[in-house]
Amino acid sequence: MTRTELFGQIQKKGTYLCIGLDTDIEKMPKHLLGAADPVFEFNKQIIDATSAYCVAYKPNIAFYEALGPKGWESLEKTLAYIPGDIFTIADAKRGDIGNTSSHYAKTFFEYLNFDSITVAPYMGEDSVKPFLCKDKWVILLAHTSNPGSSDFQLIESGDTGRKLYEEVIRKSMKWASPDQLMYVVGATQAEKMESIRALAPEYFFLVPGIGAQGGDLDMVSRYGMNKQCGLLVNSARSIIYASAETDFAKAAAVEARKIQNQMEKYLSAL
């Protein structure tokens, strides 16, 4: 999916919501456990209920890998079920020496056919470039929402005075254009969103941390948007686990619609 196509979907649907399919078999409604493939059945019903309110789905690969071959089968079926006009993100956080990264890229882009993958930049340019395939996206970790993000991301350079996450953004923009590269910027870092947007004015940001993690959608939208929206705001647990009963899909739709309604107001100002 191109940047123009992604922005077109955002405009058409009035939303920049990304729903995280962090499907944990221990948290899903018990009545699904008797299904032939409980994970896929859960995802299928979530997708049916919420696809009108989002422009992206983000399966967290760890939840599927933890189930072994059956988990990979569930992931494949989930991807095949997601409508073709919805952007797909492999939340895999890969990144290794070039030869290894090229095989990760084949796995997620050729075999599984995701639109994008999250990548860790710690090993540098040669570990990232193999993911920069035609018509695919790299979503590079920049300033994340977890408590330990300050351990390394906020270390300042003695030469430039810039923080490590700022150096990551500045340097990686030389590797790829806004048509192929996005950045992960946590919603819990919303107070820094304005300065991060100034660093990368044309790039999309994937923003996790809305909902259960307490991120502020208002601040993220106010300071993170650009002329083409430039945001994919992710919510997972607060939507997919809105109910643990037989009405889980309906409850997920209600929560997704609430966020979509808020986003529609911010988009109207573009």
Quote the tokens at residue 86. Answer: 């919805």
Query: Of residues 44, 77, 93, 129, which has the active-site annotation?
Result: 93
CA atoms within 13 A of residue 252's CA, in its CB half-sphere = 30
Identify the domain containing residue 200 by its residue range: 3-267
Q: What is the pLDDT of residue 213?
A: 58
9-68 residue pLDDT tens:
999 999 999 999 999 999 999 999 999 999 999 999 999 999 999 999 999 999 999 999
Cβ(35)–Cβ(45) below 8 Å: no
- 3-state SS assignment for residue 110: helix
Specify the number of domains making up the chain.
1
91-134 residue pLDDT tens:
999 999 989 999 999 999 999 999 999 999 999 999 999 999 98
CATH code for the domain of 35: 3.20.20.70
Nearest to 247 by CA among 83, 26, 32: 32
Quote the tokens at residue 205. Answer: 């940001």
Cβ(98)–Cβ(126) below 8 Å: yes
Q: What is the pLDDT of residue 128?
A: 97
pLDDT at 214 over 80: no
Mean local confidence (pLDDT), 254-259: 97
134 part of the active site: no
Please, which pLDDT band fits residue 147 given cuts at 50, 70 and 90?
confident
